[in-house]
Homo-oligomer: A and B are copies of this chain.
Amino acid sequence: MGMNENVSKPLDRLSNELAGDMAAVNALIRERMASRHAPRIPEVTAHLVEAGGKRLRPMLVLAAARLCGYQGDSHVLLAAAVEFIHTATLLHDDVVDESQQRRGRPTANLLWDNKSSVLVGDYLFARSFQLMADTGSMQVMRILANASATIAEGEVLQLTAAQDIATTEDTYIQIVRGKTAALFSAATEAGAVISGVEAPVQQALFDYGDALGIAFQIVDDLLDYGGSTTTIGKNVGDDFRERKLTLPVIKAIAAADDEERAFWTRTIGKGQQDEGDLDTALAILKHRGALDAARADAIAWAERAKAALDLAPAHPLRDILSDLADYVVSRLS
C-alpha cells in the first residue's frame, strides 16, 4: 500500500490529541448509563462499554468539532450520544445475528437474555436523545435522528438482501451506509454543525465520514476473506458461512460463468455448503479479481474521504483524520 511510518497509528494519535475531551466523554457515559430504578441496565451496558471498543465514533465527533474551532462543551454530550447509539445498535445486532461473541467476550444476549439486550438497547437509544436535547441544537437532533433511521433501514435491508445472489453493488453500498457509514458521517457532520462553520464545511465533514465509513466496511468485508482471526476478531469465512452478500462476492457473481454461478447459488443462495467450499470460493474470488477490485474500491473511498477534507480548516487534527483514511485501508496490506 506504500504507507509510510507516520501514518501507522493515527488512532493512537487521535486518542492522544483528544485525551482530555475523551476523559470527559467516558465520565459522562458512565454517569448516563446508570438507572435509578433498574440495576440490570448498567450491568448490561458496562459489560459492553467497558469491554473497550476503539471509541472511534465519539472521537470523530470531537475531532470534527475541534478542527472546526469549537470552544464549548456540547461536543462531549454529542460524542456520548453517538457512542450510546452505537452501543444500542450493537446490543440489537447481537440479538438479530444470534451472536455469541463481541470484542472477544460473550455477548449480552448470551450472558443475560435477548430481552435484556432489546430493552437496554432501547434505553440507551432514549438516553442518546436526552443527551442531544441537552446540546440545545435542533439541527444536531435532526442529523442523528436521520442517521438512526438510516441505520435501522440498512439493517432491515441486509436482512432481506441476505442470501439473495441478485444483490447489486448499489444495494450493498446502501446496506453499508446503514451498518457503518451513517453514524460516521453523522458524527463528523454534527461535530461541524455545533461549531457553527458554514454549510460547505459541514458538508465536507459529512462527506469525509461517509467515505471513511464505506472504506472501513469494505475493508472489514475483505478481511473476512483474507484476514486472520486475531486482526479482525472473527474467523475467516464467517460471512461466507452466514451467506452474506458482501462486495467481493457480489463482484465475483457479476463476473461468474455458468459453473461459478451454480456454485454461488448453491452455497450462498441455498446455503448448501460442503467441506472445501470456502477454499473454492476463495479461489474463484482470486481468479475473478474480485478481491483486488474490492480493494481498489476501498482505496478509492479512502481517497474520497481525504479529498473531502480539503475544504476543512488546516489543523493538526485534519492531518490525523486524513492519515486515518489511509490507515483504514492499510489493514489490507
Contact = CB atoms under 8 A, between A and B. Distances in A.
A228 interface: no
A52 interface: no
Interface in A110-162: 114-116, 118-123, 125-127, 129-130, 132-133, 136, 138, 141-142, 144-146, 148-149, 151-157, 159-160
Contact of A152 (B39, B123, B157): B123
Given A37-B174, A145-B130, A145-B133, A156 B114 contact: no
Given A95-B118, A96-B115, A160 B129 contact: no
A35 B153 contact: yes
A127 B149 CA distance: 6
B92 A156 contact: no
A333 to B, nearest CB: 33
B38 A123 contact: no
A132 B145 CA distance: 10
> Size band of the A side of the interface?
35 or more
Given A130-B142, A130-B145, A153 B123 contact: yes
Interface string A37-56: 11111000000000000000
B116 A114 contact: no
Please list the 10 inter-chain residue pairs (A to B) with the smallest Cβ-Cβ separation, ordered nearest first. A126-B148, A123-B152, A129-B145, A126-B149, A122-B152, A38-B156, A133-B142, A96-B115, A38-B157, A130-B145
15 contacts: A37-B153, A37-B154, A37-B174, A40-B159, A89-B122, A92-B122, A95-B118, A115-B159, A119-B155, A120-B152, A123-B153, A125-B152, A129-B144, A129-B145, A138-B141
